[in-house]
Amino acid sequence: MYLDVDTSSFYTELTCAQASLWCVTVLWLAHAILSFLRLYHSHSQQIRGPCLSREKELLLGHPLPEHTLPQPHPHPRPQEAPSVFI
C-alpha cells in the first residue's frame, strides 16, 4: 500500500527533535541547580544574619548589649486555624 508520504526529511526532523529535547533537559537541569543555590544562599543569609552575633556572644560567655539583640519580625504572621487535608 503506497500512501504518497514524503519521508526524505525524516532523519533531519528526528535529529532536530532530539537536539531540542537535549536542550530543554539541559536548561531544566541548569534552572534546578540555580534555584537550589539561590534557596541555599537565601536560607544561609537569613539564618546567619540576626543569629550570628548572638551565638558568638553566647559561646564567648559575654552578655549582649541591649541594642544588639535581634528584633522580632515587624509583621508577624496572623494566626490561622489549622486545616486538615483529606
Domain ranges of the chain: 10-60
Tell me what the mean pLDDT of segment 12-32 comes to. 97
CB-CB contact of 54 with 69 (8 Å): yes
Task: Return the C-alpha cell found at 25.
Answer: 533537559
Tell me what the mean pLDDT of segment 30-56 comes to. 81
Task: Return the C-alpha cell found at 4.
Answer: 504518497
CB-CB contact of 85 with 70 (8 Å): no
Q: Taking the chain, what is the end-to-end CA distance rounded to the nearest angstrom?
A: 56
Asked whether the predicted pLDDT for residue 8 surpasses 60, the reply is yes
CA atoms within 13 A on the CB side of 80: 5
Task: Return the C-alpha cell found at 48.
Answer: 546567619
CB-CB contact of 84 with 65 (8 Å): no
Cα–Cα distance between 68 and 51 in angstroms, integer? 11
Banded model confidence at residue 70, pLDDT cuts 50, 70, 90: low
pTM of the model: 0.49
Asked whether the predicted pLDDT for residue 68 surpasses 60, the reply is no
